[in-house]
Structure 1
């Protein structure tokens, strides 16, 4: 993993970064926060997918494991 990543923001990217930044927050910190939000979004999508796949599972119909 490189120590730094080059990024050439478009005008719209600049606007989003300005609007999303917290007071005193650096652009790097705003981008880090955005990456964590993306990671959480991916986790939630997987969670929803798993929940949908298991929605008809009835654990009460399963034999006791002990």
Structure 2
């Protein structure tokens, strides 16, 4: 896969977060990657919650055994 560069203009709050991460030994790239993975996980959790809410009345005991 070809490497792709993404432009980013950090806000003052972003700069504060990046500086704190750098002080802890984390690079800007690693910080952004970690944030993207957290966002992906957050979206996965939201989908899981929607599915759980949609299926909350499902009773698997009412289903015939598959075996």
> Where on the TM-score scale, by shorter chain, does this alignment land: which range?
0.7 to 0.9
Higher RCO (C-alpha 8 Å, min separation 6): 1
Please report the RMSD computed on the Cα atoms of aligned residues, expressed in angstroms.
1.7
Which residues of structure 2 form unaligned runs of 5+? none
Structure 1, residues 2-45: CA drift from partner, whole Å, max 9, x if none?
A: 611010111111112223x1622110110000000000000000
Structure 1: gaps spanning 5 or more residues: none
Give the Cα–Cα distance (whole angstroms) in 2 for the partners of residues 2 and 42 of structure 1.
Answer: 25
Runs of 4+ in 1 over 6 A off after TM superposition: none
State the TM-score, normalized to the length of structure 1: 0.84
